[in-house]
Amino acid sequence: EVQLVESGGGVVQPGGSLRLSCAASGFTFNTYWMHWVRQAPGKGLVWVSRMNSDGTNTTYADSVKGRFTISRDNAKNTLYLQMTSLRAEDTAVYYCVRDVKYQPESWGQGTLVIVSS
Amino acid sequence: QSALTQPRSVSGSPGQSVTISCTGTSRDIGSFNYVSWYQQHPGKAPKVVIYDVRKRPSGVPDRFSGSKSGNTASLTISGLQAEDESDYYCCAYAGGYTWVFGGGTKVTVL
């Protein structure tokens, strides 16, 4: 069974940093592209970032480019999202998502990030 | 990228059919057959109900069906049931290894 478990969320002040983790199990992690998708409270889903299977290629939404960094450790079956210069509008539940044929297929339960002073 | 356009809400009585539209552009829905739909209950993670425009994952009831015409995709729920009341999101591959989502549609079972 595919499992994706996010962690690392919490309350952070504007301008601060946070690193999210996503522990994957139940599948061969190093053969899948992985993404982060976020959802602000009461709002819709928004794609954030993607990394290819071997960690050599990344893509970012314009809203986070230059502030967020996606990475992965295939030896640890873990995906990361390093978030810096956080803004109030980054407040959201962040989901780790497995990509199957260019589409979101499996989702974690999400981790909540609140940016507030 | 701009979000795909979905109606804010649709409703129907048990047993009826409802259809949710999802309008994109020639750069996303119009270019690729990588359109998927997600059901999301409050406080829960999204769950895929349709992928590749019209395919259903195992375990998803056959009352869920998908289609696409031009730049618009659609999700139809036939024989509406109480447990179908939820938020639904469309998603399309937008090229450049990116995804774009719709704003979400709340389905209410009257």
Q: What are phi and psi of B83, to 5 degrees?
A: -75, -5
pLDDT higher than threshold 70 for residue A30: yes
Q: Which of A33, A39, A45, A52 has the highest number of chain B CBs within 10 A, making it the mutation to test binding with B?
A: A45
Q: For every residue of chain A, which 3-state class applies, written as one string?
A: CCEEEEECCEEECCCCCEEEEEEEECCCHHHCCEEEEEECCCCCEEEEEEECCCCCCEEECCCCCCCEEEEEECCCCEEEEEECCCCHHHCEEEEEEEEECCEEEEECCCEEEEECC
Q: Which of A6, A93, A99, A102 has the highest number of chain B CBs within 10 A, making it the mutation to test binding with B?
A: A102
What does the angle CA A107 – CA A33 – CA A92 come to, to the nearest 5 degrees?
Answer: 40
Contacts of B91 in chain A (CB under 8 A): 45, 103-104
Mean pLDDT rounded to a whole number for chain A: 98
Contacts of A102 in chain B (CB under 8 A): 32, 34, 93
Q: How many CB atoms lie within 10 A of CB B15?
A: 10
- What confidence tens digit (pLDDT) does each residue in A61-88 have? 999 999 999 999 999 999 999 999 999 9
- What confidence tens digit (pLDDT) does each residue in A35-65 have? 999 999 999 999 999 999 999 999 999 999 9
Q: What are the Cα distances from residue B104, in Å, to A87, A90, B90?
A: 24, 19, 7
List, run by run, the mean pLDDT of 10-residue segments along chain B (110 residues).
92 97 96 97 97 97 97 97 97 96 97
